[in-house]
Amino acid sequence: MLLLRCQLKQAPPQKVWCRFCAVMGKLQSKLKHSTYKYSRPDEIIEERIQTKAFQEYSPAHMDTVSVVAALNSDVCVSGGKDKTVVAYNWKTGNVVKRFKGHEHEITKVTCIPNSSQFFSASRDRMVMMWDLHGSSQPRQQLCGHAMVVTGLAVSPDSSQLCTGSRDNTLLLWDMVTGQSVERASVSRNVVTHLCWVPREPYILQTSEDKTLRLWDSRGLQVAHMFPAKQYIQTYCEVSVDGHKCISCSNGFGGEGCEATLWDLRQTRNRICEYKGHFQTVASCVFLPRALALMPLIATSSHDCKVKIWNQDTGACLFTLSLDGSGPLTSLAVGDAISLLCASFNRGIHLLRMDHSRGLELQEVAAF
């Protein structure tokens, strides 16, 4: 800095300005994708600059991306305000196929396990089934809700689909015939998300009434209701072994803005809470166990941050700030080391786990 000051004193005004711009440009480039690591309140926050090349792929959508899900280890499907569902190869940075049919914003997508088929839901109250290797037209169109569809879950054997809506209802569909076979309604149960418990007949559901419900698909009855939280529950996911689930909540200024780990077995107790976001937590996922020696979860929030947590202790292990992206709307596991994160302003972010210098999460591409 002293050398720079000496050079500035000796140089003419035009050269001074050019040197100043060059220095500031380098500084801005280094800070563009800055991250910080955080473990415990008594530890020092460690600033780190990403060194890996960042790639700007061709965009998947022309507007806000509402949701993203992994179809396989190479391709994700996403939907947003542009009313389209897009299949995208996030390893090559190319659009595989665009699907059009909805009349309003896409709210949810979910994939059929070990298949090229997937479903989308929309504010147009419709659910559509698509095939990556088929036509760009929907294979099925399911109509049964009176308001926007906000939940989709496929049964483990891929024979049934459960849908939920802001109309307080859940519908169970036969995926072969495309017919609704069960219907359930609970007052004030505004559905925010659905997921099916692996190898079980149970469906987990979050609601704007601040509760987490477990439904039995055999008759579509409520099998269990977890203790109500203080804030609206926005999302839920079940662990691969079906023993645990996580839910997350809305909030502002650090109030609410949390994720909660629950036991799905006999006790069905609250196990742990994860606090540290400052705005609504929109999504939460269990991370593949191969990523670390300890079990991990990840959360994404409207505060533009993705956090990695120790599942057992609730300690925040790493925070990635995606500044300029706006609210982060959806999070999905891409493969053993990759996460896909949808955002309001910058499309979908490809995030990579790195263990070369301890646990880190880096943004490596956006599309």
Q: Which of 106, 112, 142 is nearest to 126 (CA)?
A: 142
With DSSP H G I counted as helix, E B as strand and the rest as coil, what are the percentages for the chain, rounded to 5?
10, 50, 40
- Angstrom distance (rounded) from CA 247 to CA 24: 43
Tens of pLDDT, residue by residue over 49-105, are 444 589 999 999 999 999 999 999 999 999 999 999 999 999 999 999 999 999 999
Q: Which of 116, 194, 130 is nearest to 162 (CA)?
A: 194
- Angstrom distance (rounded) from CA 76 to CA 284: 17
Tens of pLDDT, residue by residue over 126-148, are 999 999 999 889 999 999 999 99
pLDDT in the model for residue 268: 83
Q: What is the CA radius of gyration of the chain?
A: 22
- Angstrom distance (rounded) from CA 152 to CA 192: 10
- Measured N-to-C along each axis, helices 2-10 and 13-31 cross at an angle, to the nearest 10 degrees, of 150
CATH class of 229-366: mainly beta
- Angstrom distance (rounded) from CA 96 to CA 280: 32
**DSSP assignment of 265-311, as one string?**
SSS--EEEEEE--SB-EEEEEEPPGGG-SS-EEEEEETTSEEEEEET
Mean pLDDT confidence for 190-214: 97
Q: Which of 220, 296, 310, 226 is nearest to 263 (CA)?
A: 226
- Angstrom distance (rounded) from CA 146 to CA 165: 8
Say which amino acid occupies 351.
L
**Domain residue limits, the chain:** 229-366
Q: pLDDT-derived band of residue 27, with 50, 70 and 90 as boundaries? A: very low
Alpha helix stretches (DSSP H) within the chain: 2-10, 13-31
- Angstrom distance (rounded) from CA 106 to CA 25: 39
User: Which backbone phi and psi does 350 adopt, to 5 degrees?
Assistant: -95, 120
| Residue with the two structure tokens 């692996």 | 198
Tens of pLDDT, residue by residue over 250-298, are 999 999 999 999 999 877 889 999 999 999 999 999 999 865 678 999 9
- Angstrom distance (rounded) from CA 93 to CA 366: 9
- Angstrom distance (rounded) from CA 14 to CA 218: 77
- The rounded percent of the chain whose pLDDT value lies above 90 is 80
pLDDT in the model for residue 30: 38
- Angstrom distance (rounded) from CA 40 to CA 234: 26
Q: Record the tokens describing residue 236, joined without a space.
A: 């839920």
